[in-house]
Structure 1
């Protein structure tokens, strides 16, 4: 049953909402994790950042324009959708079902999963349209309403794609390109005919009165929608040419001035995108002894090494890290390089180290985090896969029972009949060897010059070495066979190692 009073109230609300005609560029960089929006309008004397943008750090960004939703309901729904990982198309579909004024709206929504959507309602002011695209790691949606024409959007797209440099440089160039095509048509043409002067108009002084660029990077403040909008966190860049009037310079021109000053202030400061953190050894055995150094190369946005000797660091495990290694203090190497050490434990897994740099400006979290994988160490390893019978080559066997088995008694066994299905030697303990005559011979020769340290105790670190040292010709009758080894703990027999096999070659 329809509730007419509620429907009338909803329709009245959106019909009374102000029309914020504008153009916007919503873009993310999947490689860097940046999410951004640039926007401009010929509506004078306002703070555009409270009205249009939606920023969810690490998820995506959006623009909600044309007739505004004063209740913020739509922008809050977009924010929640981005936060929850919804496809932008699904977010848009949800808006179409919940908002009776849907056809008066215009949206651009992009997320870091590489999905983008633009929507222009049938009641958005002409000229109104939008486009989406992909350029390498960039995913974007560009839209505008009451602009001079499609060239505004096309020029912005071309500049976004063609301009070298980082996302900030591309966004600023795209805004300038849109401005050159006339931008918001009401600044240069009669309000009733914003497309009447062409794109670009033959002569104009303003493309907009108000504009902004907002870029959020990984590690920036995650702040939900509030009284001042849905893009009110502390972000990498928040350049706002707000409150502009027709008597002020063009908003994009003012925005360019803010951009240039901001860029100048970041020279010599650590840049998240241009700096790198990496482990010298990306993979360590989980053997409790191996170590590696994680190097930090700090550069500013121009790629120049940051040489501030007073820089300080916070290193912690990032979300999703296995939390295995304990980083040492960060030490300075020189010429923009710092480092810290990590030592392996017995645990296997992937560590992710989140590194925050404080060099006198705002804290900078390096992205992506440094990765270090710890691989499980087999309880038994052989130093070679084959031995020569004619040369009497031997094999070194490395035992590692871990600290839990330190000082335990062990015995090394061998066989020539394969490793499966194995032999049960105690309840729940199967040795991965099929016992045979070679097994019996090996037991008889334990701790002889032929089978060195094959019976003994693990050291205090849980490790030991054994060796098979045959004389030349000893294995002449079993060429082509595989000799397999495994060890078990004694008193009690409660552990059996993996098997290793060595081929007998001529």
Structure 2
């Protein structure tokens, strides 16, 4: 599996994750493994997929990233064909590249991350990934953007010599999953695409729209001209059939609620008297894209809200 990936941790904010790209179908089904408060693992090259669950089990026992790498590869007779990156609960990172991995193959380890790849254009790929990750971290970008920047830099430096096909991001944090029931905060895959990293970034932006915390400075009060605009937009998208009155009456409230729930924005409902600015922008865009004569418009959402 010709692949380049990054494992990273930010224990300060309680987040661990993996970003990966490959000329391989559905790379996200094989390479990335992570558990909140435990660590993250990327297993690739002639991947030994058992490195994922076994690596997390060893991390759960309190072993360091370096100890986990040593334990896994020493027990594996096929170690020369394996490549592995690990980051532990404390942000310590380690990596391994087997001697039989196809050229160019290698890794770079830094504070809180490890970049690794095989069948690459050259060492510049993992060097560029490491620089991009550190620069994004120093700029204060969130973890998902840091990983995207690392993948983009790796691709720009030559990437997988065979080309592109799939990419994935897996990020975990305590109670980070939908409804707080799991730690799987962001789990996005592009399984087959000519520009998988850019498509992955598009999905990351959608994830932020649906699951990101509402910004109080972006709240818009539901009164006067705003209500009139929303009535027109809801009417254009098929959610509202009442008059354009500018009054926040029961019919308007119900139409707005139906829109927000139908479009999977329940995480951004912030009260009866305001609307989240990002949701209002989405509604404006939805009204522009509504086919003439159609029913309620639907957006480009994937995986939002209630399944």
Query: Is the counterpart of residue 144 in structure 1 residue 117 in structure 2?
Result: yes
Find 1:47's aligned residue among 1, 26, 29.
26
CA distance in 2, matches of 1:268, 1:100: 47
Shift of 1:307: 7.9
Distance 1:81 1:161, change over 3 A: same
SS in 2 for 1:236: strand
CA distance in 1, matches of 2:145, 2:11: 17
Q: What residue in structure 2 maps to residue 309 of structure 1?
A: 271
Shift of 1:118: 0.8
* Alignment RMSD: 2.3
Whether the 8 Å CA contact 2:33–2:170 is kept in 1: the answer is no
Deviations 1:401-439 (A, max 9, x none): xxxxxxxxxxxxxxxxxxxxxxxxxxxxxxxxxxxxxxx
Shift of 1:113: 1.5
Which structure 1 residue ranges, 5 or more long, are not aligned? 1-19, 188-207, 222-232, 272-305, 311-359, 363-506
Q: What residue in structure 2 maps to residue 34 of structure 1?
A: 15
Q: Please, what TM-score do these two structures have when normalized by structure 1?
A: 0.41
CA distance in 2, matches of 1:234, 1:86: 21
Q: Please, what TM-score do these two structures have when normalized by structure 2?
A: 0.65
Q: Which aligned runs of 4 or more in structure 1 are off by greater than 4 angstroms? A: none
Whether the 8 Å CA contact 2:59–2:89 is kept in 1: the answer is no
Q: What residue in structure 2 maps to residue 21 of structure 1?
A: 2
CA distance in 2, matches of 1:77, 1:169: 28
1:367-382 alignment to 2 at 5 Å?
A: none
Deviations 1:52-73 (A, max 9, x none): 112122110010100022xx43
Shift of 1:249: 2.2
CA distance in 1, matches of 2:212, 2:31: 31
Q: What residue in structure 2 maps to residue 237 of structure 1?
A: 186
Find 2:198's aligned residue among 247, 253, 256.
253
CA radius of gyration, larger in: 1
Shift of 1:94: 1.4
Q: What residue in structure 2 maps to residue 200 of structure 1?
A: none
Query: Is the counterpart of residue 159 in structure 1 residue 128 in structure 2?
Result: no
Query: RCO greater where, 1 or 2, for CA within 8 Å and sep 6 or more?
Result: 2
Distance 1:234 1:60, change over 3 A: closer
Q: What residue in structure 2 maps to residue 171 of structure 1?
A: 147
Shift of 1:269: 3.5
Shift of 1:125: 0.9
Q: What residue in structure 1 maps to residue 174 of structure 2?
A: 218
Which structure 2 residue ranges, 5 or more long, are not aligned? 217-267, 273-303
1:203-214 alignment to 2 at 5 Å?
A: 208-214=164-170
Query: Is the counterpart of residue 62 in structure 1 residue 41 in structure 2?
Result: yes
Specify which structure has the higher proportion of helix.
2
